[in-house]
Homo-oligomer: A and B are copies of this chain.
Amino acid sequence: MATRYFGQRIRRNEDPRLLTGQALFTDDVNLPNTLHVAFYRSDYAHGKILSIDTEEAKKRPGVIGVYTAEDLGDYWQRGPLLVPPPPIKDIVFNERTQVPLAKDKICHAGEAVVMVVAESRYIAEDAVEDIEVDIDFLDAVVDIEKAMTDESPLVHDDIEKNIAAHVVQEKGSYSSIRDKAHTVISRKFIYDRGTAAAMENRGVVANWDERNQQLTVWDTTQAPIPIRNGLAAMLGLSQSQVRVIAPFIGGGFGPKIMMFYPEEVLIPWVSKQLKRPVKWIEDREENFFSTTHERGQVHEAEIAVAEDGKILGIHDVFVHDAGAYAPYGLTVPINSQCTLLGCYDVPNYYSEFTAVFTNKPIVTPYRGAGRQHGVFVMERLLDLAAQKLGMTPVEIRRKNFIPQDAFPYDNEIIYQDFSPLVYDSGNYEPALKRAVELIEYDKFIKEEQPRLLQEGKRVGIGIVSYVEGTGIGPYEGAKVSIDPSGKVSLVTGIGTQGQGHFTSFAQIVSEVLDVPVEDVRVVTGDTLEFGWGAGTFASRGAVVAGSACHEAALAVKKKIHKLASEILEASEDDLEVSGGNVQVKGVPDTAISLGELAAKANPLRGAVKPGTEPGLEATSYFGPSRGTTASGVHAMIVSVDPETFLVNIERYIVVHDCGRVINPMILDGQIQGGVAQGIGNAFYEQLFFDENGQLLNASFMDYLLPTSLDVPKIEGDHIETPSPLNPLGVKGAGEAGAIPVGALYAQAIENAFHDCNLEILEIPLSPNRLYEIISQNKTKEQI
């Protein structure tokens, strides 16, 4: 395949619109006569609703409607879970999906109880203050380990224990090899809660058009098509009566895909009731409570290794904090379970998890989606084993890498996409080698670190690896059409949240049709434009939608060949499509522009004969048999201020393999953003709850995000191991940057304090926490 466009560092088509403020975001949708919504949200995390008094609110001038659960009737028929649990034997799964407005019981602080609709948001907010809700406070379920005990209060009264799910997956037999191991290392690992903190909060604008009996919804969703389908089912409409538009979105990262957020059904529902446009834009405080969280897990994990460092087996039992409901199935803990195995040949694996309900906001995937937990546990176990065996982190990893000739490599467990966890391809050793080179690992250990330590500077190096299951099904579609102007229209259903789809998808089509990337107009995220597909999640856009774009472009190219062959009276094999033309190879005089050909494909007479279609247009679908496996190695050098315990990243290296690269510039951006969020996850961002389930730091004053000063320049390189599972050979890259950062911080900081026997067994860290851990350690050491 030529690579005139594919693989090139091409500037993004969408940037002029974004940079000049012309891109449409949900809050930009201002329809005449729009009503605005504010919610009364529970102050308590757990309690019985005794009474709700909305009389005063209803009297306030400008208030149009005040709704409680009672008003909603029984319209609330849920569609299926977007991502149901995979077919694992003996799985326990107590599906609990959140209600749009709390009825009888409050399950987490911030849960919506009353919806106020008014002529302005100001009036709606004021009216919320008029509402009196009498709640009988109940003890809250907060600690996830205690949540499983018999003594714990129950989040959901109809389940005997707070068990959302219990899943065991096993490969080989860990118990049979444990005793034969040279070294066994057991630790408890904690990976605590955070939130995605997208730049744009959530928002929904809905407009029920009574004349056309048509509902249009603008929604900051990553999955407009499933939202369309679900809304139709819940509101008793056919799918053709509902149009969901996911316009430009200021960051998705996972939490913006849900089936459904309460607001996503309430706003359309009330628009249909009132026959007026209705708007709700989440404010930042609401975002901390009503947008989903991630990352609360506690692992009791064990590694058994041979004397040479070869892994004999892993045993991991973990508790996963589902929050108050489980609307997203078990994607996060399944990902933790499946990603833990990493780049390594692990012959025996026992993994058991319990997902527990707590009186905290719901947990769903957020960039990495549970994978970072698994990577953290595995990489930490390897580091501890290496230390015990006197190996370097590099050595123990190299020792255990799955060799290149072992692909496809079957891990003998089931992945979130219902398929066996089989790695399609990979080449881990060169990535590690490249990272070691780039960061000058040996030089640092042998020269730099001793020299700096002598200067009183605490510096450390880390190097970790990971795999990431990406590009899962079910499928996406794309429609490619050549306009008589010669420009190309490309429509997909997938939606976009800043990933550069307007460019990378265009590059895929440009490569096939040999037209400039800026001449490919991409439309995405509008169910009226394209109504089939799933959405943007699981690093699947380029793999699944990208492959559909490729297939559709090939189908159009076939039509070009066929028609040009008729017109030029030449064999299809003798034709070439290049530079916006089709011509007989080597005979430029025969060139017909693609635009002209498009016009000829839709003539005034004779356009359609039996079995043919007009125009140069094709719609194709791509559904991969299973996900592709991306991988990478991150390395960094940190310096730690011994007074403040601030950690400064001196160098950060990413050697990344996501198969064939579509646009290195966009990929660099994805990695940069991912690492930035990973840094936040690892060292800045942690949500703190008190014993009543109250979130203590629900503002950017208290919940710290890394700034541009905290995120270093990312250096690195790409290894391209094409995936055999799609025609482009691509793998997902969106989440990768964020996944191994916690493990990397832990190793690098330990390395900086290698003289202190420091063990980092938890994430997130912070200067405070680091001080506490090191203080404890020093005490221990002194004992």
Set of chain B residues within 8 Å of A768, measured between Cβ atoms: none
A98 part of interface (Cβ distance < 8 Å): no
A170-178, A299-307, A601-609: which lies at the B interface? A601-609
Q: Check if B32 sits within 8 Å of A475, measured CB to CB.
A: no
A239/B475 contact (C-beta < 8 A), A606-B623, A608-B621, A621-B613 known? no
A156-164, A341-349, A481-489: which lies at the B interface? A481-489
Q: By DSSP majority rule, is chain A's interface helix, strand, loop, or mixed? A: loop
A447 part of interface (Cβ distance < 8 Å): no
| Nearest opposing residue in chain B for A245, CB measure | B212
Q: Check if A521 sits within 8 Å of B83, measured CB to CB.
A: no
A233 interface neighbour in B238, B485, B602, B613, Cβ under 8 Å = B485
Q: How many copies of this kind of chain does the complex include?
A: 2
| Nearest opposing residue in chain B for A548, CB measure | B608
Q: How many residues of A contact B (CB 8 A)?
A: 58
Q: Check if A24 sits within 8 Å of B211, measured CB to CB.
A: yes
A528 part of interface (Cβ distance < 8 Å): yes
A61 part of interface (Cβ distance < 8 Å): no
A474 interface neighbour in B84, B239, B528, B606, Cβ under 8 Å = B606
A318 part of interface (Cβ distance < 8 Å): no
A483 interface neighbour in B32, B238, B529, B605, Cβ under 8 Å = B238
Q: Check if B84 sits within 8 Å of A239, measured CB to CB.
A: no
A133 part of interface (Cβ distance < 8 Å): no
Cα of A602 to Cα of B240 in the assembled complex, Å: 15
Nearest Cβ distance between residue A666 and chain B, in whole angstroms? 22
| Nearest opposing residue in chain B for A21, CB measure | B211
A229 part of interface (Cβ distance < 8 Å): yes
A82 part of interface (Cβ distance < 8 Å): yes
Cα of A80 to Cα of B484 in the assembled complex, Å: 12
Q: Check if A487 sits within 8 Å of B238, measured CB to CB.
A: yes
Q: Check if A474 sits within 8 Å of B604, measured CB to CB.
A: yes
Q: Check if B83 sits within 8 Å of A491, measured CB to CB.
A: no
| Nearest opposing residue in chain B for A209, CB measure | B24
The digit string for A519-535, where 1 denotes a CB below 8 A from any CB of B, is: 00101000011001000
A418 interface neighbour in B523, B605, B607, Cβ under 8 Å = B605
Cα of A614 to Cα of B623 in the assembled complex, Å: 10
Set of chain B residues within 8 Å of A529, measured between Cβ atoms: 528
Set of chain B residues within 8 Å of A229, measured between Cβ atoms: 484
A212/B24 contact (C-beta < 8 A), A475-B614, A623-B609 known? yes
A612 interface neighbour in B24, B237, B621, Cβ under 8 Å = B621
A317 part of interface (Cβ distance < 8 Å): no
A521 interface neighbour in B240, B418, B605, Cβ under 8 Å = B240
Cα of A212 to Cα of B528 in the assembled complex, Å: 15
A84/B604 contact (C-beta < 8 A), A477-B614, A523-B240 known? yes
A97 part of interface (Cβ distance < 8 Å): no
Cα of A528 to Cα of B612 in the assembled complex, Å: 21
| Nearest opposing residue in chain B for A489, CB measure | B240
Cα of A477 to Cα of B613 in the assembled complex, Å: 9
A481/B623 contact (C-beta < 8 A), A418-B605, A607-B475 known? no
Nearest Cβ distance between residue A212 and chain B, in whole angstroms? 6
A239 interface neighbour in B210, B240, B483, Cβ under 8 Å = B483
A770 part of interface (Cβ distance < 8 Å): no
Q: Check if A239 sits within 8 Å of B418, measured CB to CB.
A: no
List residues 673-698 of chain A with CB under 8 A from any CB of chain B: none
Interface residues of A (CB under 8 A from B): 17, 22-24, 28, 31-32, 80, 82-84, 210-212, 229, 232-233, 236-241, 417-418, 473-475, 477, 481, 483-485, 487, 489, 491, 521, 523, 528-529, 532, 602-609, 612-615, 617, 619, 621-623
12 A-B contacts, Cβ less than 8 Å apart? A22-B211, A28-B211, A229-B484, A238-B487, A240-B481, A473-B605, A474-B606, A474-B607, A475-B608, A477-B608, A477-B613, A607-B623
Task: List 7 tightest A-B contacts by C-beta distance, closest first.
Answer: A608-B623, A475-B608, A240-B489, A32-B32, A238-B483, A238-B487, A608-B621
